[in-house]
Amino acid sequence: MEKMGLWVGLVLLGGASTAFAQGNPSAGKEKAQVCGACHGEDGNSSAPIFPKIAGQHASYLAKQLHDFKTQRRPEPTMSALSEPLTDADIEDLAAYYSRQKIRIEKGPSNSAGEALYRTGNPATGVPACTGCHNPGGNGNPLAVFPQVNGQYAAYIEKTLRDFKSGARGNDANGMMRAIAGKMSEEEIRAVADYLSTLE
């Protein structure tokens, strides 16, 4: 029964967030000028500390902007930039960036990271990442699970460490905090390295 409640909650959350994602990409491109300074004109940032948002699900982008705006995900720069955004602005920005194409880094695949991503670590209770983010790393827009393939390794590492420490807490039902809390530093680095080159 508890699992059913969690599933229903995720479906409802996904349904609610897709309501944010019906924006106008042309209007979003006009509104994205200030975003380009950190995230790149097309959502492919040039600095690994800033996430690539090109091709990210509109539902996820909208959720993060709302969370920055309401301080559910506190981050000084993003909170300040998102505070004046209207719901329509957020929908338009999410629609624009979701239609861009992510540029994936070239390099050898990290076999330890791939093993963790695909099978988890049963000994420590770390589940396979594929359960939420899918084998190709393209996530699940209805459940608002982000696309993670092709993201900078440095950004994935920071994100996992923030979930692990509790510095970031806008994950549904604390799922990412619970998972990252069981991951070792070596596992964080390996899975981040693997995802950065996953096409």
Last residue of a domain, one of 75, 98, 121: 98
State the pLDDT at residue 15. 40
3-class DSSP state for residue 145? strand
State the pLDDT at residue 10. 41
State the pLDDT at residue 22. 85
Please give the DSSP secondary-structure letter assigned to residue 41.
T
State both tokens at 92: 């338009």
Residues 8 and 52 in one domain: yes
- 142: domain CATH number is 1.10.760.10
Residues 72 and 147 in one domain: no
**C-alpha–C-alpha distance, residues 94 and 99, integer Å:** 9
Residues 7 and 92 in one domain: yes
User: How many CB atoms are closer than 10 A to CB 106?
Assistant: 8
Mark residue 57 as left, alpha or beta (left: phi above 0; alpha: psi -120 to 50; beta: remaining).
beta
CA dihedral 39, 42, 44, 47 (to 10 degrees): -40
> Across the strands, what pairs with 121?
126
Residues of the chain short of pLDDT 50, as ranges, are 1-20
State the pLDDT at residue 12. 39
Residues 173 and 118 in one domain: yes
